[in-house]
Amino acid sequence: MSRLFDSVRYLKGVGEARAKLFASMGISTLYDLISYFPRAYEDRTRIVPISELQVDEPACFRAYVTSTPRVNHIRKGLDLTKLTVSDDTGRLSLTFFNQTYVAENLRYGEEYYFYGTLAGDYLGYGMTNPVFEPVDAPGVRTRRIMPIYPLTAGVNNGLISRTVQQALGVCLAEIPELLPEPLRAKYDLCDAAAAYRQIHAPDSFAALDRARSRLVFEEFFIFSVGLSMLRSRRSEKHRPPLRDLDPAGFEKVLPFSLTGAQRRVISEIASDLSSGRVMNRMVQGDVGSGKTAVAACAAWFAVKNGLQAALMAPTEILAEQHARSLEPMMTPLGVRITLLTGSMTAAQKKNARQAIASHQVDLIVGTHALISEATDFQNLGLVIADEQHRFGVAQRAALAEKGEDPHILVMSATPIPRTLAMILYGDLDISVIDELPPGRQTVETFLVGESMRGRINNFIRKQAEQGHQTFIVCPAIEEGETETLRSAEVWAETLQKAVFPDLRVALVHGRMKSAQKDEVMRAFAAGSYDILVATTVIEVGVDVPNATLMVVENADRFGLSQLHQLRGRVGRGTAQSYCVLFTDNHNPDTLRRLKALCMNNDGFAISREDLSIRGPGDLFGTRQSGLPAFKVGNLVNDLTILQNAQAEAAAFLSSEELPKRPEYAPLIERIRALFSDDSAPN
Ligand code: ADP
Ligand code: MG
């Protein structure tokens, strides 16, 4: 009987209380525990002579205790233990805070290994709270590569490390081998047992690298196979091919001509729609690249072929805006369009629903919520989801259940690199609008500190005097969520009362009811306010061409892609527009990140930068991004492994015989568990 799935409770040192703590970290079984990987490692292998210790560089050294440790009781709650240690090259004084046991454990005249960080100033050098072990004891805290685990209150690194080792002792031999021998041989990957052993207690950095590579490969391989299985399940679905898919007729009703990129994407959509299979396509395009026109053309294709189409937006106001801007294009084409949102009156909704059910309307524009609710369509053949980056794989799967396998088109304003898109949206085909319509102005972007506050306020006033409007985005809603963050509520009030008493300041944030939010947004769009103080609720889509200035408070708190989205809220009219990023954070990485945004207007380049600095989990500055959380794999640094794993996944799936081999059984079992029919990966 496998002990892998035994509870951690039965390990030594883990009682009921600690088991609860572990559970809160997602660790219930021994398998969970050994799959809880270190987040970093400390190199304690290098032993240096005292004379070569460097300030601020943690290191190990071997030394004799050359003074009897003395405990000084400074005051209640503060005891200092001081002693001197020496080797052939020099002497060093050590200080321990509140570790009186040190006096008994470090004996005069005996030799120990220490690990710590040298500190120094004009008074001399010293070390505080080093860890130590007798020279004849096995190296646990010195002379080795130390795993550093992600921690939670009440669980320290030593506890995790010890229990992991205990668990490995019990079940190392039982870890299922998910990568059969030929695959491991081909990519020179170690076996599962070695990988688990080395990732927790590496013998060397080379061994650690090997362990990690193997686990990353496994993780990406499983994910790729799973996603492809989802995708093939979907592409088996058929629909009669649509006909007569020439965009020329559509272009005639537009006040502009399509860009080359828009045309290319439209033809990709057309070839899906005429293929006889159900379309599953994502269109990525930077803010302002003209995704709406592409969506409209696709809708027209469907309607021309006697189908209904639905366009879903994440908010009511965006749905309304789409309906308003689509109407003049669609009406001349004979497409009947209706809006369907929660804020419509019951009678309006009833009318709209009747018109939908009897196919008196062809294109339905509404919120995701309403359209995915029980709305009876007559012949729904195409569903378009706008601003898709807010939805994960699971939501897409749910969407496909709507209607009789409608064609699906998702529009995302967050352009992401192709390799990442393959992982994220491996179940979708991807089109990219990689060109902006001609004559787009770039939004001038500035990074400023608090010292510029007065000048920026004058600038806001100047915009208002010229009849233009300003967005001010704050990271928090209320004061005190965290002490140092600007809160929208308080800031709006301060600005209105103390800074701009003569201007009209409005407030919108995510905790307002959506009707309330929409009302404020509508009023702002109509020009009833000069300044809108907001949280990131305004990130998506609302078009206010008269807004020329975007100010972001605590800009360092946002992801670059998110800032780019926010910046996309201005520069939509003809007037020169500006974006001002406030930060008083002096971290060089943070400044580099924000400066990259100032110099760059290309969403792709920005998301690449974001990815390489913050990792994919933060790409959208939101946890709902639908990104899979990889335990070991890093989508930026492990690209080669990702590509290999994807190639092997494809080979595995296209083979008749491989999936039937017994050595692949554990893998298939694992994928089933992770990608069961009703739980899409997320
Ligand atoms: P997004 O991709 O951000 O959704 P939109 O579809 O809202 O962008 O388009 C942004 C603006 O660009 C709209 O005002 C739209 O009318 C305009 N636009 C779209 N395509 C073109 C084009 N080919 N030439 C000129 N303007 C265009
Ligand atoms: Mg859009």
pLDDT tens by residue, 630-680 = 778 877 678 789 889 988 988 998 888 888 889 899 988 888 777 654 433
State the distance from the centre of ligand 2 to the C-alpha of 286, rounded, in angstroms: 9
User: Which atom of ligand 1 approaches the CA of 292 most closely?
Assistant: 6
- Cα-Cα-Cα-Cα dihedral sign, residues 363, 365, 370, 372: positive
> How far does residue 282's CA lie from ligand 2's centre (Å)?
13
For 112, the 3-state DSSP assignment is strand
Ligand 1, atom 24, residue with closest C-alpha: 437
pTM (predicted TM-score): 0.64
Average pLDDT (522-540) is: 88
Q: Which residues contact 14 (CB under 8 A, 6 or more apart)?
A: 8, 22, 163
Residue 133 confidence class, pLDDT cut points 50, 70, 90: very high
Is pLDDT of 426 > 70?
A: no
Task: Give the pLDDT confidence of 291-325 residue by residue, as tens digits.
Answer: 999 999 999 999 999 999 999 887 777 888 899 88
* 168 or 152: which leads in pLDDT: 168
Say yes or no to pLDDT of 49 above 60: yes
Q: Flag whether pLDDT at 620 surpasses 60.
A: no
User: Which of 289, 435, 565 to mutate to test ligand 1, by most ligand atoms within 8 A of the CB atom?
Assistant: 289
Contacts 24+ apart (CB under 8 A), 198-202: 199/37, 199/38, 199/147, 199/632, 200/34, 200/37, 200/38, 200/147, 200/161, 200/164, 200/165, 200/168, 201/144, 201/145, 201/147, 201/165, 202/41, 202/145, 202/147
Percent of the chain whose pLDDT exceeds 70: 87
H or E segment to which residue 60 belongs: strand 59-65
Residue 602: what pLDDT?
83
Report CA-CA distances (Å) from 97 to 81, 101, 624. Answer: 7, 11, 43
Tokens of 258: 């399509």
Instruction: Give the C-alpha separation, 90 to 487, whole Å.
Output: 54
**Which ligand has the nearest atom to the CA of 574?**
1
Give the number of whichever ligand sits closest to the CA of residue 433: 1
* pLDDT at residue 615 is higher than 70: no
- CA nearest 114: which of 47, 204, 181? 47
- Domains annotated on the chain, with CATH: 1-45+156-174 (1.10.150), 46-143 (2.40.50.140), 261-276+288-412 (3.40.50.300), 444-600 (3.40.50.300)
Binned at pLDDT 50, 70 and 90, residue 621 comes out as: very low
Q: What is the whole-number distance in angstroms between the Cα of residue 225 and the centre of ligand 1?
A: 37
Which of 111-115, 262-266, 383-387 is least confident? 383-387
More confident position, 628 or 139: 139
Give pLDDT, residue 477: 80
Residue 42 CA: distances (Å) to CA of 126, 143, 147, 195, 499: 21, 10, 7, 18, 51
Per-residue model confidence as pLDDT tens digits over 340-352:
988 788 899 889 9
28 Cα to the center of ligand 2, angstroms: 44
Confidence at residue 608, expressed as pLDDT on a 0 to 100 scale: 72
Which atom of ligand 1 is least distant from the CA of 289? 2
Angle at 238 between CA 235 and CA 242, to 5 degrees: 115
- Give residue-wise pLDDT tens across range 192-248: 999 999 999 999 999 999 999 999 999 989 888 887 776 666 667 788 999 999 999
The pLDDT value given to residue 442: 87
